[in-house]
Amino acid sequence: MKPEFFNRSALSRQLWEFRREFMWVGIFSMIANILMLTPTIYMLQVYGRVMKSGSELTLLMVTFFLIFFYAVMAFAEWLRSRLLVRAGVRLDEALNSLVFKASFEAYLNRTKHNVAEAFSDLTNIRQFLTANGMIAFFDTPWTPVYIAVIFFLSPFLGYLSIFFAFIQLGVTWLSNRMSMKEIQIAADAGNNSYRYVQSKLRNIEPIHAMGMAGNLRQRWFMLHDASLAKAEDSLDRQHRQQAFAKFVRYSMQSMTLGAGALMVIEGKMSAGSMIAANVLMSRALQPLDLVVATWKPFVQARTAFVRLEKLLEDFPERHPGTKHQDPFGEIRLEGLSASAEGREAPILDDLTAMFPSGKVTVVLGPSGSGKSTLARCIVGIWPDTKGRVLIDGEPIESWDRMELGPHIGYLPQDIELFDGSIADNIARFAEVDSQKVIEAAKRTGIHEMILRFPHGYNTQIGDAGGMLSGGQRQRLGLARAMYGNPALLVLDEPNANLDDAGERSLLEAVKDLRKAGKTVILVTHRPTVLAAADLIVLMQNGKIVRCGARDEVLSALRAGSARPASGTPG
């Protein structure tokens, strides 16, 4: 049965899966630590037998066994290190997919999780498992064994060793108490400085164009200086603690040697036993000293564990739901409301409507009326909603996104392309189907344009499509939305950056989609696309104020009539 601790999170369960590896690491640590007694036994034999007997053969045999046991000890230490490294790699392989999905969902849901830290947290945990801190964890329990051997040599030195061990433990505890909070504060300050720079780099062009870099640099200097000050305080305290711990350890070793010398003078032990006891004392305190030296990585790994555990708890792995038939694209809203943090009034307020499959619906309204939020809700990417969005009568949450994704085409206002070829971007970075890629490009009127690029569809567009103009990015994003003939297309301001030729291509594409029986929901400010509309939805202040057939709504608007919205286009 698994302990309760290991039932609380995906991260803990994954660590529990490596219990066999940790057990073998413990066994190899036992072998290595037992064989650490080899130099002590060798010393006793040399001083106790070889020096007295003067036998070269005895010295040769004792030395042979010494070398043999050293080789076994080194092999055991290598094996345990190899096991820890392999366990760290396997842990990363087991969790990287979960962390990626959880980070993706956390960012999509605009949570307070710092998703940029998630992968560094996983790296911190993996590195701690393979570093000296983990070795110290397995070596520390052998400290009592070494002290017990010291008792065998001299009870007085044994009690002295226990006293020194408690002093070392006290130093370790005090270091933890004094440094843990400062380490975390310094790490948070550094992360704040890093996040500030990263957020500004995403908007580098307007910052440079309008000369804002100097002002933003001054604000970053404040965060960076605070980060440096916290880091300096933390490192200064850690170095003081390490220096004090080293002073304590060296003093205790010398005092052990001095106490042993006193015992030799009094004739209570031999010189060999005195030196052996000093070696054992050094070995007994070494793991405790290593704990002090690796306390910062331990604190960082523990903090990373807690953060990653919370992320995976909030966004657990989603098991595939019930398989659905390919959707026809009928959309129904039932009491849909959408909110945003820091905003009192809802962005969308209790919307109930239906968008029939095979129809083109144009959503109109002034800026701030909730059109783009409605588009995001329809494709299921707005985090804070109430009510339901149904696709063919099934809640959108019941669909597996990998199953539903190919049946949805979505073009957001802010076109985001990715580093790769034009074909990769149109094909949504799945396996490229050349026929479907060319069909989508022709439908949006960019096939000839792509062929004029140096490498055609294999042309690399650079990070975020930096080599393309705004209109080219928009048409490429439109081709991506149309790739594979999805049943539902939600296009948010698809003509915002298009010229006349681009708009004509857009209208033709929308008409072709309607003929093919696809559902198209098109958000726009520009009236030119109304020629392709079957239905019109007019929004204002987060509500649908009018919806119905295109000619009916346009006639009513021209006449200035204001009847209540029916909530069901068509």
Q: Could you give the CA distance from residue 306 to residue 180 in angstroms, rounded to a whole number?
A: 14
What is the token pair recorded at 253? 């070793």
Answering whether pTM is above 0.75, one says no
Between residues 249 and 31, the one the model is more confident about: 31
Mean pLDDT rounded to a whole number for the chain: 80
Domains 1-153 and 331-561 in one fold: no
pLDDT in tens, 502-537: 788 888 888 888 888 889 999 887 777 888 888 988
The alpha helices in 266-400, defined as continuous H runs, are 271-293, 295-314, 371-378
Domain at 331-561: CATH code: 3.40.50.300
What is the model's pLDDT at position 551? 83
What is the token pair recorded at 534? 């079957």
* DSSP, res 428: T
Q: Could you give the CA distance from residue 497 to residue 472 in angstroms, rounded to a whole number?
A: 9
* DSSP, res 319: P
Q: How confident is the model at residue 226 (pLDDT cuts 50, 70, 90)?
A: confident
Q: How confident is the model at residue 72 (pLDDT cuts 50, 70, 90)?
A: very high
What is the model's pLDDT at position 243? 77
What is the model's pLDDT at position 116? 64
Max avg pLDDT among 36-40, 139-143, 280-284, 435-439? 435-439
> Tokens 């792995």, residue?
317
Q: Could you give the CA distance from residue 561 to residue 557 in angstroms, rounded to a whole number?
A: 6
What is the model's pLDDT at position 562? 43
Domain at 1-153: CATH code: 1.20.1560.10
348 strand-pairing partners: 338
Q: Could you give the CA distance from residue 348 to residue 85 in angstroms, rounded to a whole number?
A: 52
Q: How confident is the model at residue 180 (pLDDT cuts 50, 70, 90)?
A: low
Cβ–Cβ under 8 Å, residues 513 and 531: no
What is the model's pLDDT at position 194? 66
Collapsing DSSP to helix, strand or coil, 540 comes out as strand
* Core vs surface per residue 196-215: b (16+ CB within 10 A) or e: beeebeeeeeebeeeeeeee
What is the model's pLDDT at position 109? 64
Domain ranges of the chain: 1-153, 331-561
